[in-house]
Amino acid sequence: MSRKTAKSAPGGVRVQRTRIRKKGGLKESSRRWLERHLNDPYVQRSKAEGFRSRAAYKLIEIDDKHHLLKPGMKVIDLGAAPGGWCQVAVQRTKSTADNSHVVGIDYLEMDPVPGAVILQMDFLDNDAPGKLVEALGGEPDIVLSDMAAPTTGHRRTDHLRTMHLCEVAADFAMSVLKPGGHFLAKTFQGGTEASLLDALKRNFRSVHHVKPPASREESVELYLLAKGFKGRSSSNERHEDRGAVS
């Protein structure tokens, strides 16, 4: 490998340019991916600032613009591994080990996040929602989801699988959020399901698609942000009305 100093990354961190030599049995596609990853300014910034993944900056940038996370808020983070979003939530809500109000869940093993409670289990398990609320000690102010299904390389299949996770996360959010709460979840470009958007628009005061700068330009990921949950009584009425029409 050879290195040279490049321009500053976002946040003022100096980027060290790394080149991977074309030898050693490494496939060309793997070499390009590794080189891009090592030279990613957000990857280098995350290492310098102690975040576990570049994804932390996606939440930071969304929160800086939309002002979602405030001290004392209760937060549930779905698909938490490796813990970058939990770290941001802990910092911005001022959660501590003695007074924790951030709970993350993932079926993958991950290191503890100081100030957060981490459940290692599949969010799709039937008992996961109850365990999350129990661990949090009440209704959340915000539900975060950076969940995405493992990619297959087939864009339509990947879109449908991740949209299923987004829909399940949205249903969970609408079943547990405090009135006035928020929901933020990863989705993919290619058309958010109309039924999901309809449900969110009926049950939240505003719904937005957002793409933070930390999300790579070539990536098809978007984030769905629903702000100002109207409460479950109105939600239940709307579900009943739709059922009556059908």
Catalytic positions: 186
For strands 75-78 and 142-145, give the pairing.
Answer: parallel
Strand partners, 184: 144, 225
**DSSP strand E in the chain: where?**
2-8, 14-19, 75-78, 102-106, 117-120, 142-145, 182-188, 204-210, 221-229
What is the identity of the amino acid at 36?
Answer: R
What is the Cα–Cα distance from 41 to 24, expressed in whole angstroms?
A: 26
What is the Cα–Cα distance from 228 to 25, expressed in whole angstroms?
A: 53
